[in-house]
Structure 1
Amino acid sequence: MSRPAAVLVLPSPFFSDSDTIRLLEPADCDTQWILRQVVSGAYDKPFVIDDGTTRTLHFSLSLIQSTMSLKDPFALELAYTQAMMSFLLFLPRPRQILMLGLGGGSLAKFCYRQVGSARITVVEIDPHVIAFRDQFELPPDDGRLQVIEGDGADHVLRSAGWEERPDVIMMDAFDRHGLSGSVSSTYFYQNVHDALAGRGVMVANLAGDKADREDHLAMIAEVFDDRLLTMAIPDGNDIVLAFRAPSFAPRWRDIANQAKALRARSGLDFPKFAERLERSRRLRYV
């Protein structure tokens, strides 16, 4: 793998004059041509916009992939990332978390700080996304965190042979065109099911075209025999939790108590997540 270019910081062509745009380009590049490519939508690499308050990772101007507060880099700024943490209601002390897709590292950072029981492996196919990890203050790899360049679907297939399988598989695998093609099949979701530990949970972020989201929901429901819960997020995302254990039968009163404890510890609105997930189960959303 070739070494990515250094991060080039330029005045942003958007919004206010104080904003900056960060690109993976050499210092001697034609900056005006690069900025025109970004504005036109022809630029084919991720880039970062910093407005002095937040730092956002973009695949295009219309698609914000990740957002970080500069005052609180470990916080989850986007509603869908907060909702993805609802797996803790059912599995509060996972030992292994496998994440498919790094983005700006929001979920990896949050789990690193808040889920001390877990070792976290992140698989990201785009080396340019990984190259921005320092811009988003992702901790360096250590005994609890590892970021790997590779195809998440291939990694899932291999993880089925691990001695200690993932308790949680988190899927947030998007590129500039939407959900990655390698995660868009029943075969992929069957591999996820088979790779999970016995009481494991898959958490998937589905976004984009409504028909595509419905197709993914149908595939997940088929593979996991309808053992799933869903949350619709106002910004257009659907969060899906799917459970491997055939005996899946949530005890909502216990989960409500767990939600209060998690809110006190993390600051996220876990009671709201629990209510919405219980409603989806009761109404048999799928």
Structure 2
Amino acid sequence: MTDRETLVEKRRDDYGTLRITENGEGYRFLYFGEQTEQSCVFMADPSWLEYDYTRAMLLGTFWCGRDADMTLLGLGGGALANCLVTHFAPRKVTAVELRGEVLAMAQEWLGLSTDPRFQVNVGCAEKHIAAAPASCDLLFVDLYMEGGLSRLQLQAEFFRHCQRALRPGGVLVINQWQMGDTGLPYGAALLRDLFGGDYLQVQVEEGNIILFIPAIGDPPLTLGLPAMTAWAAALEPVLGYSLKPYINDLCRAGDNPGPL
């Protein structure tokens, strides 16, 4: 929390403190604990994505297209869910959020969408995804706690269940932290063992690395820059920002083997 932010709401649950702050520029922020800024929402347009990593995650929609069933593991402030419902014509968007108070605060203070295609299930992401084989076309994994990366994002069995949750043609999108300045995600060795080196990844300014992994048995995702650039150009007037920088930085995981 900076000096320019004022406290709007503060609550506690079984996992710690949750705070909502706002600044004088129309933004509200969700904090886990005292220091961990988890989400940012522009209240004049709650579908606006402020963070680079959430914008980069949108690339997953390129391979899935319209009328997709989308699942988000981790709701946060809800900006990504709002954006998907507003701009990407899904059939359904389902978010799974561990903390009921996070959902309540997003509804009360952060402009969470009330679109009938969007629903939130309060519960454990691990249990939900293990019981949901072939349930979605696009699966976003963005699981963090106050101390950082959720333990699930370093567990092979969890990622196996995530990939099994995809239908043919589906895409798994994972938000991981970078391991130092290696250009590799924290779970790089585990991910390479599970998925090989042909999945796509992009590093963003905040230090996150976003991974794009196809469904079981599917070929590697296409890295067709002309088609992706044209797609991004058509979206730019709608979104208000460009996805081209993330497309330009996409690479195969195997192209950056690093010190595994």
Report the structure number with the largest CA radius of gyration: 1
Does the C-alpha gap of structure 1 residues 69 and 219 become closer, same or farther in structure 2, counting only changes over 3 Å?
same
Does the C-alpha gap of structure 1 residues 128 and 119 become closer, same or farther in structure 2, counting only changes over 3 Å?
same
TM-aligned CA deviation for residue 220 of structure 1:
2.4
- Do structure 1's residue 220 and structure 2's residue 191 form an aligned pair? yes
Aligned residues of 1:47 and 1:58 also touching (Cα < 8 A): yes
TM-score (normalised: structure 1): 0.79
The aligned counterpart of 2:49 is: 76
- Do structure 1's residue 105 and structure 2's residue 89 form an aligned pair? no
Aligned residues of 1:89 and 1:274 also touching (Cα < 8 A): no
The aligned counterpart of 1:44 is: 16
- Do structure 1's residue 86 and structure 2's residue 59 form an aligned pair? yes
- Residues 101-143 of structure 1 show CA distances to partners (whole Å, capped at 9, x for unaligned) of 011001011011011233000000011211202211112362x
TM-aligned CA deviation for residue 59 of structure 1:
0.8
TM-score (normalised: structure 2): 0.86
Aligned residues of 2:168 and 2:218 also touching (Cα < 8 A): no
Alignment of 1:172-211 (within 5 A): 172-207=142-177, 210=180
> Which of residues 197, 203, 210 in structure 2 aligns to 1:232?
203
- Rounded to whole Å, the distance in 1 between the matches of 2:19 and 2:178 is 20
The aligned counterpart of 2:11 is: 24
The aligned counterpart of 2:3 is: 15
- Residue 159 of structure 1 aligns to a residue whose secondary structure is coil
Letter in 1 for 2:228: I
- Residues 180-201 of structure 1 show CA distances to partners (whole Å, capped at 9, x for unaligned) of 2234211111111111111111
Aligned residues of 1:189 and 1:219 also touching (Cα < 8 A): no
The aligned counterpart of 1:58 is: 31
> Which of residues 151, 156, 162 in structure 1 aligns to 2:124?
151
- Residue 198 of structure 1 aligns to a residue whose secondary structure is strand
Letter in 2 for 1:89: F
Aligned residues of 1:231 and 1:276 also touching (Cα < 8 A): yes
Give the percent of matched residue pairs that are identical in Structure 1 and Structure 2.
Answer: 24
Aligned residues of 1:193 and 1:224 also touching (Cα < 8 A): no
Does the C-alpha gap of structure 1 residues 50 and 200 become closer, same or farther in structure 2, counting only changes over 3 Å?
same
Letter in 1 for 2:37: I
- Residues 46-73 of structure 1 show CA distances to partners (whole Å, capped at 9, x for unaligned) of 1111123211000133211001123322
Letter in 1 for 2:46: P
The aligned counterpart of 2:100 is: 127
TM-aligned CA deviation for residue 249 of structure 1:
4.8
Relative contact order (alpha carbons < 8 A, sep ≥ 6): 1 or 2 greater? 2
TM-aligned CA deviation for residue 21 of structure 1:
3.3
Letter in 1 for 2:63: F
TM-aligned CA deviation for residue 93 of structure 1:
1.8
Does the C-alpha gap of structure 1 residues 98 and 46 become closer, same or farther in structure 2, counting only changes over 3 Å?
same
- Residue 248 of structure 1 aligns to a residue whose secondary structure is coil
The aligned counterpart of 1:241 is: 212
Question: Unpaired runs of 5+ in structure 2?
Answer: none
Letter in 2 for 1:167: D
Aligned residues of 2:17 and 2:34 also touching (Cα < 8 A): no
- Rounded to whole Å, the distance in 1 between the matches of 2:237 and 2:253 is 27
Aligned residues of 2:174 and 2:212 also touching (Cα < 8 A): yes
TM-aligned CA deviation for residue 94 of structure 1:
4.8
Runs of 4+ in structure 1 deviating by more than 4 angstroms, as ranges, are: none
Pairwise CA RMSD? 2.4
- Rounded to whole Å, the distance in 2 between the matches of 1:208 and 1:273 is 16
- Residue 90 of structure 1 aligns to a residue whose secondary structure is helix
- Residue 265 of structure 1 aligns to a residue whose secondary structure is helix
